[in-house]
Structure 1
Amino acid sequence: MNTDRKVLVVTGASQGLGEGFVNAYRERGWSVVGNSRSIKASDDSDYITVPGDVGDPEIARRVVNTALDRFGRVDTLINNAGIWRPGPIGSITEELYRRVMATNVDSVFFATQTAVPAMQMQGGGHIVQVLTSLVEHAVQGVPAVLASLSKGACAAATRGLAMELAHDNIRVNAVSLGIIRTPLHEPESLESKKSFAPLNRYGEVSDVVRAVLYLEDSNFVTGEISYVDGGRTAGH
């Protein structure tokens, strides 16, 4: 087991942002453990995939423990898995509520809880949350109470954990996103969503990856929420 090479754990890794994170860190020579519900097996010995619903605490723990068992450490955890289900509060079933909160909040808690002791033992680490700028600036035409509840909780936890874990040299940061071209959005809907950003365009996966890599390389940055939203937050 080579414990000198850095190790990334990323949830929601099979497509979109997660796939972008996997590729970027592998290009840097990191070993990676990736998870999603239906992720395919990897033929790369330094990229291990763990299928399953990370909203299940057992799966969340297993994803992190797979990195520890296979590579001996976890340097960065990116809590990327998320469900986006907009809708008026009256239309949200209890089943949908539970599913969104499990994926968006429970996965973050249990994966992070499992990773932190390992990071403490190895002398440091980095935790990154993926948020939405709707938490800070709601849109009247976009009823998103589930996003506000779940991602808002993760935004607060980012700052709280940054303070709690600073003395362990564990940094905790987040990226808060506007409209990004991922499978989350129907391709035909993207043109009409450009106006959400003052830059009048949507973002690309590469924009988010660059923001995360900035946070990765910035050893004096913790508790930061970096807005990758085309200026939307600044304009409110």
Structure 2
Amino acid sequence: MTTSAQKVAVITGASQGIGAGLVDAYRKLGYAVVATSRTITPSEDADVVTVQGDIADPSTAERVASAAIERFGRIDTLVNNAGIFIAKPFTEYTSEDYAAVKGVNLDGFFRLTQLAVEQMLRQGGGHVVQITTSLVDQADSSVNSVLASLTKGGLQSATKALAIEYATRGIRSNAVSLGIIKTPMHSEEHHATFAALHPVGRMGEVSDIVDAVVYLENAPFVTGEILHVDGGQNAGH
């Protein structure tokens, strides 16, 4: 069970893929975890609390933050992992597409991060990590990504702004900028096509991203960093 000395991580989009990998990684680091997604199910681990809900809904953020504080008494790390990617030509995006992507990628970040930072300030420190995409920095003519760039680009800018605003108050803010990662979001039949989009010639693994987040977690002098874990995409083609 948790103790007053045990750190606590909150992870969004935690039911599968990168999010599930992060839950496992933070448990191995000794953290208690509050994990949330639309479809997440209860955990048998007493130090993992799950909260089911749509992170685009501010009430979900309220329930997640309350669960962390009521159960464990603190929030040391927030990983804003939840995200939506819809690839369409710009003129074909619908208002529903826009609302869905903005809701998860930006609105979901905004309220939960506010609540987490408020708690971190009470504690005297903490760490916020955003998961973004290298398409923000290097657009690719073969991938239609305006909504992803609009929203995840906002997260990258916010990452740096948070880092500077709270640099003297013990709160760090960083981001991991991804290439295309092998997760249940991507069917195996498309893996060869996705691999070719990376200069290194392969897709990323969940472990590549988990290792990057764990590095940032253990790097107290690093803040405001956009860490590209993208098989060379940010460098160009």
TM-score category (smaller protein): over 0.9
Percent sequence identity is 53
- The Cα offsets for residues 91-126 of structure 1, whole Å up to 9 and x where unpaired, read as 111112111101000010101000111101111000
Tell me by how many angstroms 1:34 deviates: 0.2
1:180 matched to 2:184? The reply is no
1:72-221 alignment, distance < 5 Å: 72-221=73-222
Tell me by how many angstroms 1:60 deviates: 1.4
Q: Within 2, Cα distance between the matches of 1:61 and 1:10?
A: 14
- The Cα offsets for residues 124-171 of structure 1, whole Å up to 9 and x where unpaired, read as 000000000000011112111110111010000000110011111100
Q: Within 2, Cα distance between the matches of 1:27 and 1:200?
A: 31
Contact kept in structure 1, 2:138 and 2:236, CA below 8 Å: no
Q: Within 2, Cα distance between the matches of 1:3 and 1:150?
A: 36
Contact kept in structure 2, 1:2 and 1:72, CA below 8 Å: no
Contact kept in structure 2, 1:33 and 1:63, CA below 8 Å: yes
Q: Which runs of 5+ in 2 are unaligned?
A: none
| TM-score where L is the length of structure 1 | 0.98
Q: Within 2, Cα distance between the matches of 1:26 and 1:182?
A: 20
Contact kept in structure 2, 1:65 and 1:114, CA below 8 Å: no
- Secondary structure of the residue aligned to 2:166 is helix
Tell me by how many angstroms 1:186 deviates: 1.5
- Secondary structure of the residue aligned to 1:233 is helix
- Secondary structure of the residue aligned to 2:54 is coil
The farther-off stretch of 92-101 and 74-83 is 92-101
Question: 1:53 aligns to what?
Answer: 54
Q: Within 1, Cα distance between the matches of 2:66 and 2:114?
A: 11
Tell me by how many angstroms 1:3 deviates: 2.1
Question: 2:64 aligns to what?
Answer: 63
Q: Within 2, Cα distance between the matches of 1:86 and 1:235?
A: 20
Q: Within 2, Cα distance between the matches of 1:192 and 1:93?
A: 26
Q: Within 2, Cα distance between the matches of 1:201 and 1:212?
A: 20
Q: Within 1, Cα distance between the matches of 2:212 and 2:84?
A: 21
Q: Within 2, Cα distance between the matches of 1:28 and 1:154?
A: 26
Tell me by how many angstroms 1:50 deviates: 0.1
- Secondary structure of the residue aligned to 1:179 is coil
Q: Within 2, Cα distance between the matches of 1:11 and 1:117?
A: 18
Contact kept in structure 2, 1:79 and 1:130, CA below 8 Å: yes
What is the RMSD computed on CA atoms of the aligned residues? 1.0
User: Number of matched residues?
Assistant: 236
Q: Within 2, Cα distance between the matches of 1:81 and 1:61?
A: 16
Tell me by how many angstroms 1:235 deviates: 3.1
